[in-house]
A and B are shown apart, each in its own frame.
Chain A
Amino acid sequence: MKILESAAVIITGIVFGLFLLGVQRKLVARVQRRYGPPIWQQFIDVAKLFSKSSISHGFVFDMGVMMALGGTIATLLFVPIGKLQVLSMSGDFIVVVYLMAVASLGMAMSAVNSGNPNASIGVMRALTQMFGYELPYLMVMMGMMFAYRTSSILGMAQVQQGGILNWNLFRVPIGAIVVFISMFGISGKKPFDTPIAPAEIASGPMVEYSGKFLGSLTLMHALVIFVDISIFVNVFLGGASNYWFFLLKVLAVFSLMVLISSVIPRFRVEQVVTFSWKWPLFFAVIQSVILVAMGVR
C-alpha cells in the first residue's frame, strides 16, 4: 500500500512539477507578449536530454547529481499531498528542510567538482542566497511551531481544517507573506536567480551539465518547486483533503509567483542578503514575537 502511495507521490511530483515548469514558460511568454512553447515542452526537453550523451568530470560529479535527485525524491515522500501522506508521520518540518539541504549539497558538490570556476561562483552565490532567505523562513516557522506546538507539516495542515478563514494565510498573514517571499529564494526565481544568472556567470552551477545530468537536475528543479510550494500550501493554505484540490492550490500559488517574478530584475549577490535580512527578517521576527506572545489569533 505504502509502495503504491510512494510511487503515486513521486510520479505526481515529477509530472506535475514538469507541468508547472511548462506553465511557467507559457505565462512568462504571455507576459512578454509572445506565444511561448507548448505546456508539455518540459517533458519533451527532459526526454531529449536523457537521450543525449554527456560528459562527466569524475565520480563525485556523477554521485552529486544522484544525491541531489535522490535527496529531493526522499524529501518529497515526507510531504503530505492531499490524502497521500506517505511518511508524514515519521518526519517533521525540520527533517524536510534539512533533507532538502542534502540535495543542494549534492548538487553543489558535483557542480564545483567540474573544475569550472563559474560553477564555484554560482555555488557561492547560491549558498549566500540560502543564508539570506532561509533565516526569515525559519523564524516564521519557529513562531508557527511554537504556536501550534507541533513541527509536523501534516499536523499544521489538519489544524486549519474547517473553513477558509481558518487558513493560516489569514491568521498569520505577515508570516505568510514572508514565507512567500522566501519561496522565491528557494525556487531560484527572479529576483533570486543570482546563482544561475545566465548572463553573468554562464548559468553558474549548471555550466558543465549536459545530457542526463541536465535532465536529472531539471527533474530535481521541478521536484524542488513542487515540494516547496506543497509545504506552503500545507502550512498556510490549509492543505487539502482532496488530491486535485491540492494540485489546484499549488498551481495557483505557482502562477502568482511566476507572474511576480517575470517583471522583476534580479538581485546582486550582496543585495540578496541585505534585502532578506532587512524587511523580511524584521517582519519574521515581529511575527514570531506575536505568535509567541499571543498565540494564534
Chain B
Amino acid sequence: MNPTFMIAIPLLTAFLLFVLPKRRWLNTLFITLVALFTSVYSIAGLFNIEKSMSFGMGGWPTPFGINLVVDNLSAFFVMVTQLSFLLTIFALFGWYRAERYSGALMMTFLAAVNGMILTGDLFNLFVFMEIASVSLFALLNLRESSGSLKATFNYMVLNALASSVYLIGIALVYRATGTLNMADLSQKWGVISEASATTVFLMLLTPLLLKAEIFPLNLWAPRIYGRSSAGITTLLAGMVAPAGFYAMIRLFSLLSSSGTTQNSLLILAVLTMVIGEVVALTRKSLREMLGFSSVAGMGVLLMAALSNAMEGALFHLFNLALAKVVMFLSVELLTAGGRDDLESLKGTYKRNPAMAFVFASGAFSVAGLPLFAGFRSKLIILSDMMKAEHYIITAVFIFASIVEFFYYTRAVQHIFSSNEEIAGGRQCSHPLSTLVLLAAAIFIIFTGIYPESVMALAEKAQMALTDVGAYVASVLGGM
C-alpha cells in the first residue's frame, strides 16, 4: 500500500472542491467517493503488510527528507480513522446541509490526519497537526451554536500554545542531534543528556497530549463536544484523538524515556480517567457527558499503554473509537440537532428506534457489558494490568468503570423510557445513515462475540510498535 495516496488524493479533492461550483450533490459525491476509496485502500493494505515499509517523499533521501512509514501499527490507526470518517460521512448523509466549504475542509482534514499517522518526520507531524487543527476550527463552527465559537477559541489558543512548545522542542532536538526524522532520532537520542532528554521529550509530547485529550491539556475538549454539532465532534473523537495517541506511543517506543516520565504520565492518565468519569456523572447534557466520557476513555488508553497492556489498549482504542463515533452520530440523529439534556431525551426511542438501538450498543460497548466489544478489550486490559501487578491502579480503573457503567445505563434508560409520551411521531433518518449505523452497531455486537479478527490486528500492531529495529531498518536501512 502506498501511503501517499492516503494523503494526496484527499488533498487533491480538497483543491478540486474549492474550484468547482459549490453544489451540495457535488460535494457529497466527491467526499463519499474519496472516503470509500481511502477506507477500502487502508483495509486492503492493512491485511497485506508483512513488514514495515518506508516511502520517501520528493526524492529526498532519508534521513534528510520526509518519509511516510507504513507498518502494522500505523496501518491499524489509519484504518480506525478512515472508518470513523466513513461512518461520519454516511451518517450525516441526508441530514447535514453541506455548507459552502465543508467538503473541501473535510478533505483537508482527512489528508492531514492521515498524514499525522503516516509520517516519519517530526516537523512533518507538526505541519499535519496544524492543518488538521485549522480545518477542524472551521468545521466546528459551520453550524454555529451557542458557545461553539468561544469553545473553539479556547481550543485554538491552547493548540497554538502547545504547538509552540512543540516547535521549541523540535528546535532543541535539531540543535542537539541534527535530525528530525523519527527513526534517525531514535538512533541518536542518546546524544541528549539525561536531564534535558526528559524536558525535550515532554515538550514533544505536549501537543500530542492535547490532541489525545489527557489532563490537564484536555480542558478545552468537553466544551467542544458539548457545544458543537455532534457530526463534527465525531471527527475529533474518532480521528484526532487516536492520531494523537498514535504519535505518542510511537515516540514512546522510539525514544527512550525515564521511569519518572512514565510514572508522571501514568498519574496524568489516571487523573484524566477519574476526573472525566466523575464529572461525566454530573452532566445533564448528553453531548457533554459523552465528551467527558471520551476524555476519560483516552485516559484509560494511556493508562493501559503505560501499564504493560498495550495490546489491550490498541484493541480498546478500536472499540472506543467505533463506539464513540457511533454514539455521537446517533445522538445527533436522535435529537435532530436539538436539545439533548437527559430529561428531554425521555422516550425518544419511539421517535427513532434504530438510532436508539445504535446508541445503546455503543453505550454498552464502552460501559463494558458482556456481549459487546468493549467488554472483551476491557478484560484484556484488566488481565494484563493485573499481571503487571498494578493492583491499585486497576482498582481505580474498576471504580471508574462502575461510574461509567452507571451513567451510560442511565442515559440508555432515559432514551428507552416508556413512561413518557413525546411530541411528534416517528422521525426516521435517511435510510443510508440508518443502514450504515445499524451495520456498525451490529459489528460492535459481533466483535463482542467473535473478537478474533480485530484482536489479531491489534496484536500485530502491538508487535510492530515494540519492534523498533524493524521500523528503523525500514526507514534508514533501505529506501
Answer whether A and B touch in the complex at a CB cut-off of 8 Å. no
Residues of B within 8 A of A (CB): none
Mark A residues whose CB is within 8 Å of B: none
